[in-house]
Amino acid sequence: MALNPHSTLAKLFAAPVRPGRVIWLGLRPERRAPMTLVQAVELKTSRGIVGDRYQSPGGNRQVTLIGAENLSAVAAFLGSNEPIAPENLRRNIVVAGINLLALKDQRFQMGDALLETSGECHPCSRMEEILGVGGYNAMRGQGGITAKVLRDGRAAVGDLVTRVDDLTKAD
């Protein structure tokens, strides 16, 4: 259901979003293999992150992002005061300072790359295995987003994550 562009809700969705910052990057070289922590990644149009197992033509789950704030929330739901280690959740990118759901149906810039949100990143059954009993439910609504790469680029720890409001400036 499309929103009426003149509605109050549509205007709120279009309201400014403060930029976030990349604080962690990881590659999943193969299924169940330990993640490789990196300081920078190359993103390829319609493929994803070079070196990640999900790099494939045309897929909607080319890149996965989660907020640092979500890591703390998941830990709290599990009764821990320590944030969850990002590699345990197997997302590619951890950002801080931006609510990733504010990027729903939006394009955003990260480093030199242009991405577009393609969906929410829901937990998988492995969360019970990795996080323990209750891990799956602790992750519900906290899993971040998936994105497609629209323009090649490099992203590094410390780069800004900024919603692109005027698409003509980004292309």
Write the single-letter amino acid at 151.
R
pLDDT exceeds cutoff 90 at 27:
yes
Tokens standing for residue 125 = 């059954």
The pLDDT tens digits of the residues spanning 59-83 come to: 788 999 999 999 999 999 999 998 8
> What is the C-alpha to C-alpha distance for residues 30 and 27, in angstroms, rounded to an integer?
9
Chain centre to alpha carbon of residue 58 = 18
Mean pLDDT of the chain: 89
Phi, psi of 102 (to 5 degrees): -70, -10
Q: Is domain 17-109+118-166 given the CATH code 2.40.30.10 in the classification?
A: no
CB-side neighbour CA atoms (13 Å) of 127 = 22
Indicate yes or no: pTM above 0.85: yes
Find all residues with CB under 8 Å of 20, minimum gap 6, and list them.
Answer: 67, 95, 96, 97, 98, 100, 160, 161
Sequence spans of domains, the chain: 17-109+118-166
In three-state secondary structure terms, 134 is coil
